Amino acid sequence: MKLFSLLVLLGVYGCFSQYTDSPAYYDRRCGEDLGNLWLEVVAVVDNSKGMTNGGLISIAANIASVFSNNTRIGTNPNEPRTTRLGLVTYNAVANTVADLDQFQSLDDVYDGIFGGLAQVSSSDESYLAHGLAQAEIILEAGQTAVNRSHYERVVIVYASTYKGSGSLDPIPVADRLKTAGVTIITVAYDQDGDGALLHDLQKISTPPYNFANTDQAGNTIGEIQGALLQVNCFCPNGWTQYRASFTDVYSYRYGVCIQPTNLNAVWRAAQSACRFKWKNGYLATEFDANKHDFILEAIRNETGFIQPFSYHIGLNYVKGVWVWDQPVGWPQPQLQTYYAWNPGYPITSSTLTGVLNQQRSSDVATGWQNISPLSTGANYICETASCDTENYCSSVKSD
């Protein structure tokens, strides 16, 4: 995974942000500022004999490198965009080298990581289940210690072998972590080069975050950093993150969240409702066919949306041009490049200035129709920017 190159800075609830006066005509990408990463991370490292001292030092260097690009380590009462990093080693048993409070600077990370991974253990055994269980304990303790319960949690596993069955099977522990919302990134330190370890670790990783030191791209640091940036891009409770594929929940995520509302309102009231549902909320944009189709799939899976589908979106007619709704005071992008008008629309009228998506036949497809913003009721779709490195959310709960 590589770092993503396009970024539009939008604001969300309780966030820090800046934005430009020139409205972009594409959906916002997730933030990619590693200096503003705000996560709870535990590195889980195999230090059995099979890892070798050289391999262990290489992993220490990799971990330190991942967090060296200006990432703020520890906690700071004046800056919530920080990352806490813990370290667990495992062999026949697991050991906590550092909990989430020990490292308070990058220097602490370097000292603690290289010191804690200086030498392999005397054990030939390597049971990842123990390491994952220890990481689980650290993450749970970290949630109760400080007000960081809304931070995303990550476990990064570095393994040289994959063992365990029965009570030592790592899959149940991994599934328990993932069910609790923890993302598991795996790095296979494959010394045989046969790819078997990478295949085994895929069983516990969160797709698609399964990497190896033998990856052809040769950029494990960038792959892990890219994964962390995607994890640190998420939606407030009750919102759905726009992604490349609706059916693939692990597909590339955009820095945009939508919320279908299944109670009718006229267009103008729907616009006002979106602005109150979340700071800098607005009626949804459909800059391209993929976004149009994603929203349709979202409402098909939402209770209260029945055929024929009809729902307001953010397109509206202002001073002679069609523009997309945005937060109050923000420039509104003019309609361009992609059009989804139903046949016969738009109707030329000074009063039909709002737009909704309308299903016209038994085919599950919708198209735009302009309507009166004050008299045509329909369900509606709200949109806001995601919480990410450019937009710190002090809460993920709606008021």
pLDDT digits (tens, 9 = 90+) for 259-295: 999 999 999 999 999 999 998 999 999 999 999 999 9
Q: Kindly report the CATH class assigned to 240-385.
A: alpha beta
Q: Where are the domains of the chain?
A: 34-231, 240-385
Interval 161-165 mean pLDDT? 89
Q: How far apart are CA 316 and CA 353, in angstroms?
A: 5
pLDDT tens-digit profile of 92-119? 999 999 999 999 999 999 999 999 999 9
Better-scored residue on pLDDT, 143 or 172: 172
pLDDT at position 20 over 60: no
pLDDT tens string 302-334? 999 999 999 999 999 999 999 999 999 999 999
How long a stretch of residues is the chain?
399
User: Residue 190: what pLDDT?
Assistant: 82
Buried/exposed 259-271: b ≥16 CB within 10 Å, e otherwise = bbbeebbbbbebb
Q: Which residue has the higher pLDDT, 216 or 356?
A: 356
Say yes or no to pLDDT of 5 above 70: no
Model confidence at 18: pLDDT above 80: no
What is the reported pLDDT for 196?
87
For residue 6, pLDDT over 80 is answered with no
- 11: pLDDT strictly greater than 60: no
pLDDT band at 145 (very low <50, low <70, confident <90, very high): low
| Gap between the Cα atoms of 347 and 296, Å rounded | 23
State the CATH class of domain 34-231. alpha beta
pLDDT band at 399; cut points 50, 70, 90: low
Q: What pLDDT does residue 13 have?
A: 35
Residue 66 has pLDDT above 50, yes or no: yes
pLDDT at 164: 84
- Would you say the C-alpha torsion 330, 336, 337, 340 has a positive or negative sign? positive
Averaged pLDDT, 213-239: 92
The pTM of the full predicted model, rounded to 2 decimals, is 0.90
Task: Please report the pLDDT score of residue 16 as a whole number.
Answer: 38
Buried b (16+ CB within 10 A) or exposed e, 55-83: bbebbbebbbebbeeebbbbbeeeebbbb
- Asked whether 155 and 100 are in contact (CB, 8 A), the reply is no
Position 85, amino acid: L
14 pLDDT above the threshold of 60: no
* Closest by Cα among 42, 37, 39, 234 to 139: 42
pLDDT in tens, 39-55: 999 999 999 999 999 99
Residue with the larger pLDDT of the pair 318 and 11: 318
